[in-house]
Structure 1
Amino acid sequence: MDYRKLRMSNDFNSSVIAEFRANQGRVGGMFEGGRLLLLTTTGARSGRPHTVPLGYLPDQGRVLVIGSNGGARRHPAWLHNVLAHPVVQVEDGPFVYEAAATVLSGPERDVVFARAVESDSGWADYERRSGRELPVVALEAVPVAGPPRAAGDAPSSPAAVLRLVHGAFRRELALIRAEVQRSGAVLGAQLRVNCLTLCANLHGHHVKEDQGLFPMLESAYPESAAALDRLRAEHGTVAVLLERLRSVLGEPGLAREELLGLVDVLTGELVAHLDHEERVLDGVL
C-alpha cells in the first residue's frame, strides 16, 4: 500500500469535509457548481464511523453514488463498509439524515450508470481505467417524523430551518439552470430526472405546508389567515408551472431553449414566492 498517497487522499478529504460543513454544503475548487454530499459509513472491521465526500445523482426519492475510487482497480473502502453495514448517514447541504444503502445490480444498475455517463463522460473513463464494473449505490432516506434535521451547528428553530430548506431549493434551481445551459440539442436522461426530482420535492414541500404548517399557524395566529391564503394561492401558481415542466419533460423532441425558458419562469415565480413566504412566516415562527 502506498501510505503517502493514502495520507494525501485523507488530507484532501478532510479539507473538503471541513469546507462543506463550514458552508452548509457549498464547496469551491473542483467541486464548485456540482452536487456533493458527505457519506458516513460504519467501518466493516473497525466499527468506527468514516466520512467521505462524494458526488451524487438525484433519482426521485433517493440519491445515487458511484464507487469510482478515482479509477483505481479496487473498490473504495466506503463500499465495503456499506456491504457490511447498509444503514448510513448522509449530509446533504445543511441537512443530515439516516439512509438505507442498496448496491444496484443487473439492468437497474446499467440504466442508471448509462444516465450518469451521458451526463458526465468521466464516469466511463473511470470505469475503463479501473478495469472493473463501477458499483452504483442508491441511498434512500429512512422516514422520520418532524422537520428536516439541521447538520452540525446549523440553526434548528422552525424559521431558520424553513430558510435552509428554501436555500436548498434556490441552489437546486440554479444547478438545473446551469445544467440546461450546458446541455446539447438533445436533453439527456439524467437532466430530465434532475428536473423531475425537483418537481417532486417542491410539490411535497408545499403539500406539507398546506396540510400541516399553515393550519397550525392559522389556529395559533388567526390574524395570519389572509397572508396564509395568499401563500396557498402562490403554491397553486407554482404547481401549475411544475405540472407544465413535468409535461414537457416527457416530450421526446424537447428543445433546450424551451426547457430553459420554462425553468427561468419557474425560477422567477418560485424565488419570489420563497422570499415572500419567509417575510410572512419569519415573525410568526
Structure 2
Amino acid sequence: MPNDFNQRIIDEFRANNGRVGGPFEGGRLLLTTTGARTGAPHTTPVGYLPDGGDQVLVIASAGGAPKHPDWFHNLVANPLVTVEDGVFTYQARATVLEGADRDRAFARAAEADPGWAAYQARTTRTIPVVALRPVSGGPPNAASPGAGLKLLHDAFRRELSLIRREIAESGPGIGAQLRVNCLTVCQGLRNHHTGEDTTMFPFLTEHHPELAPVLERLRAEHERIATLVAELHKVVSSTAADPALVRAEVDRLADELERHLAHEEEQLIPVLDA
C-alpha cells in the first residue's frame, strides 16, 4: 500500500486528470508495479521524460538515497507495468537502460533539470533510467467521447505550456531534452490529427452530414497546423537551434492550435455526447 503522502498525490492525480500541486507539482505519471515478493500491485507517483514517440523514461532516483526504490526492484522482477498519464491508462513493458544508452538519457535529464545530477552526487549507486514502452492501449479515461476529446486536447495544451516555460528558462541554446519534448509533441499532433481525419471525421460525415462544412474547415486547419509542426520540427532539429526562434515557432503553433481546438470542441463535443 502507498504511504499516506503518496496516496494523497495519487488521489489528487486521478481526480485532476494528471495534475498535482505542492511538493510533487510536475509529477506526471502513476506507475503500478507488481510486488517482487508479494505479487500485489503497488502504485507510485513518478516524474517522466518524453523519449520520442510513445516511449517515456522514468528515473529511479529515490531522492539520491543509497538504495534503489521499491518500484524499481518490482519492475526488474516483473517488467510488465501499468501507466497512468492523466489521459490514458495502459500496460507498458519496462526496460532498464544500460551503458551508453543510460548515460546519454541521464545526461539529457540532468541538463534539463540539475536536480537529477544532485541526486546522483548524493549516492554511490548508479541511478537507473527505465524506458516504458506501451504494449496495450485504449480510449481516454473519460465518461464520454466528448469528454475524452477535451481531455486529449487539454494534454496538448499542457505540454505546449510546459515547453514554453522550458524555453523561457533555457540558456543560450536548446537542450537535448527540450528538443525531444518539442519533437514528441509534434509527433503526437500528427498522430492525433491523422486519427481524426481517417476515423472520427468519416464517421461523423456518414452519420451527421450537416457537419460537412465544419469538418471541411477542421481538415483545412489540420493542414495549416501540419505546416507549423513541420516548421517547428525543422527549427528544433537544427544543431544550433536559436531559443528565440524556437519560442516564436512554438507560439505560432500554440496560438493556431488553440483556435482550432476551441472551435472543434464547440462544434463536435455536443454531437459526440448526444
Cα contact 1:26–1:93 (8 A) shared by 2: yes
Which residue in 1 is equivalent to 2:117? 124
Q: Distance in 1 between matches of 2:51 and 2:87?
A: 19
Q: Distance in 2 between matches of 1:31 and 1:271?
A: 27
Which residue in 2 is equivalent to 1:163? 150
Moved more, 9-18 or 69-78: 9-18
Please tell me whether residue 181 in structure 1 is matched to residue 172 in structure 2: no
Q: Distance in 1 between matches of 2:173 and 2:27?
A: 22
Report how far residue 53 of structure 1 moved: 0.6
Deviations 1:38-73 (A, max 9, x none): 100010110101011101101112110000011111
Deviations 1:72-108 (A, max 9, x none): 1111100111011111111101321111111111111
Report how far residue 31 of structure 1 moved: 3.0
Report how far residue 122 of structure 1 moved: 1.2
Please tell me whether residue 212 in structure 1 is matched to residue 199 in structure 2: yes
Which residue in 2 is equivalent to 1:52? 44
2:83 corresponds, among 83, 87, 90, to 90
Please tell me whether residue 249 in structure 1 is matched to residue 242 in structure 2: no
Q: Distance in 1 between matches of 2:27 and 2:196?
A: 26
Deviations 1:221-262 (A, max 9, x none): 111112101100000010000000000112122221111111
Cα contact 2:32–2:82 (8 A) shared by 1: yes
Q: Distance in 1 between matches of 2:37 and 2:136?
A: 28
Unaligned runs of 5+ in 2: none
AA matched with 1:62: Q
Question: With structure 1 as the length reference, what TM-score do the two structures score?
Answer: 0.92
Cα contact 1:245–1:262 (8 A) shared by 2: yes
Report how far residue 121 of structure 1 moved: 1.2
2:34 corresponds, among 42, 45, 62, to 42
Cα contact 2:27–2:45 (8 A) shared by 1: no
Cα contact 1:88–1:101 (8 A) shared by 2: yes
Moved more, 14-23 or 210-219: 14-23
Report how far residue 35 of structure 1 moved: 4.6
Cα contact 2:61–2:127 (8 A) shared by 1: yes
Deviations 1:170-198 (A, max 9, x none): 11111111111111111100000000000
1:172 corresponds, among 159, 176, 184, to 159
Q: What is the number of equivalent residue pairs in this alignment? A: 271
Q: 1:35 and 1:249, CA in 2 relative to 1: closer, same or farther beyond 3 A?
A: farther
Cα contact 1:72–1:130 (8 A) shared by 2: yes
Moved more, 274-283 or 235-244: 274-283
1:226 corresponds, among 213, 218, 235, to 213
AA matched with 1:148: P
Cα contact 1:97–1:149 (8 A) shared by 2: no
Unaligned runs of 5+ in 1: 1-6
Please tell me whether residue 78 in structure 1 is matched to residue 67 in structure 2: no
Q: Distance in 2 between matches of 1:186 and 1:30?
A: 29
Which residue in 2 is equivalent to 1:260? 247
Q: Name the SS of the counterpart of 1:180 in structure 2.
A: helix
Cα contact 2:20–2:27 (8 A) shared by 1: no
Q: Distance in 2 between matches of 1:157 and 1:72?
A: 43
Which residue in 2 is equivalent to 1:191? 178
Deviations 1:191-222 (A, max 9, x none): 00000000000100000000111011101111
2:261 corresponds, among 235, 256, 274, to 274
Q: 1:110 and 1:253, CA in 2 relative to 1: closer, same or farther beyond 3 A?
A: same
Percent identity for Structure 1 against Structure 2: 55
